[in-house]
Chain A
Amino acid sequence: VPRWVPVAGLVLSVVGLAVSTYLTITHYTDPKVLACPESSTINCAKVTTSPESVILGIPVAVLGLPFFVIMTAVNLPQAWRSSVDWLHWIRLGSNLVGIVFVLYLVYVELFKVDAICLWCTSVHVLTFLLLIVTLSGYSARERAAAT
């Protein structure tokens, strides 16, 4: 795969991991301390303290952690170079599940909670960019396999 793919994938995953860790810490301490501007549209505390911020008893903030841990691991350069097929399928599968979950969360923010959380949005954007990186890498691998 092109050299930029593992680099970009790893950087995005590590940043995502950092943001998820911050969101998880504030979830278990005081969601109101989230550094976030407040207006009628943007309100992090409203989103992170809403009933929708917990799914099956697990806070959404916490769900981000394992996702980015997995993405960090599978975006290591060694993982991209690996000939183990399932590693590449896990990367693609996790990313697709992640982006579907992101779409659900955007829906919840817009239509259920009626507020946008900037920190959550940054996680959504990171997941979307990771999808582009993953698909680019996947496509490059396919092309290499075909030639």
Chain B
Amino acid sequence: VSESKAKRSRIEALRAEQAKQRAAAARRRQMLMIGVPVVVVVLAVVVMVVVKANQGKTKDKGPSVASAQTVSQLTSLQPATLDAAGASGKNALIPVSGQAPLASGGKPEVLYIGAEYCPYCAAERWPTIVALSRFGTFSGLQEAHSSSSDVYASTPTWTFRKASYTSQYIAFTGVETQDVNEKPLQSPTSEQQALLQKLDGPPYVQGQAGSIPFIDFGNQYIISGASYDPGVLKGLTQAKIAADLANPQSGVAKAVLPVANQITAAICKIINNRDVTVCTDPVITKAEGTLGAKS
């Protein structure tokens, strides 16, 4: 009897051992079934991140010398071409109230704050240059592109970093805070920074205060952000854009010139429509009447 009892307990122990082994094998299978795919996915992502981190960022090229012909085309557009484009569409300018006039050297001042990497700044420089060129002369403009790793990558444009502007009516200050690789370039003065914080935010501009581009027209009007779709400039060269601006039927002219006319109207306003031919242009006088209206 005791022998059969011992045999039975040996069998039970064997069965328990087998059940334990089966359970362990099932657990191993379960771990493999869940663990292997999870580890593979995590490893794949980690490898990609590590490779990317070691690649580093390719640097964009900085500004280059501008073609004199392109600058000339851009800054001497015929009034008839600008008139043909009109000033309708999205109202780019926001009226500002209760501020002391912004002036420099006894003349009303236009202050631009932007950055070379910024695609919206890239777009906004075109109508700004066109409009300011109706009141004075730019020198030192350089050809540039917005960042290749931002939205609207490598939008063709200009930079104000070495530009100077002369006019008997108005002063212009251009501040490019960062280069195309987002490295610090020019610092706004504390007064300019204060204007950026004060005017480039609520109640004038919705959203985060201080976004660029910011253009202040004598503390009477401002522009915040791009006034047209930078995508219209995609893949074009500065020379092609300048040539297209001379054709009011081109897509580029239809996007850029109405904004340039609105800016022109704002400048006429801040110089109190002094005796400048451009300010008597019917398209500009009409645009002055609608400046800042809801579009």
Interface residues of A (CB under 8 A from B): 32, 40, 43, 45-46, 49, 96, 99, 102-103, 106-107, 110-111, 114-115, 128, 131-132, 135-136, 138-139, 142-143, 146
B41 adjacent to A40 (CB under 8 Å) = no
In the assembled complex, which residues on chain A have CB atoms less than 8 Å from the CB atom of B41?
Answer: 99, 102-103, 128, 131
Main secondary structure of the interface of A (DSSP, over half): helix
A107 adjacent to B48 (CB under 8 Å) = yes
Q: How large is the interface on B (under 10, 10 to 19, 20 to 34, 35 or more residues)?
A: 10 to 19
B151 adjacent to A45 (CB under 8 Å) = yes
Q: Which residues from 3 to 34 on chain B have a C-beta closer than 8 Å to any C-beta of chain A? A: 26, 29-30, 33-34
In the assembled complex, which residues on chain A have CB atoms less than 8 Å from the CB atom of B150?
Answer: 43, 46
Name the contact of A135 in the complex, choosing from B37, B44, B149 (C-beta under 8 A). Answer: B37
- The 15 sampled A-B contact pairs (Cβ below 8 Å) are A40-B182, A46-B149, A46-B150, A49-B151, A103-B41, A103-B44, A103-B45, A110-B48, A110-B49, A115-B149, A135-B37, A135-B38, A136-B34, A139-B33, A139-B34
Main secondary structure of the interface of B (DSSP, over half): helix
Is residue B52 within 8 Å, beta carbon to beta carbon, of the partner chain? yes
In the complex the two chains form, what is the Cα distance from A65 to B26 in whole Å? 36
In the complex the two chains form, what is the Cα distance from A46 to B146 in whole Å? 14
B30 adjacent to A143 (CB under 8 Å) = yes
What's the minimum C-beta distance from A54 to chain B, rounded to whole angstroms?
15
Known A40-B149, A46-B150, A135-B38; judge A142-B45 contact (CB<8 A): no
In the assembled complex, which residues on chain A have CB atoms less than 8 Å from the CB atom of B57?
Answer: 40, 114
In the assembled complex, which residues on chain A have CB atoms less than 8 Å from the CB atom of B34?
Answer: 132, 135-136, 139
Closest to A111 in B: B52
Closest to B151 in A: A46
In the assembled complex, which residues on chain A have CB atoms less than 8 Å from the CB atom of B52?
Answer: 110-111
In the assembled complex, which residues on chain B have CB atoms less than 8 Å from the CB atom of A46?
Answer: 149-151
In the assembled complex, which residues on chain B have CB atoms less than 8 Å from the CB atom of A102?
Answer: 41
A139 adjacent to B30 (CB under 8 Å) = yes
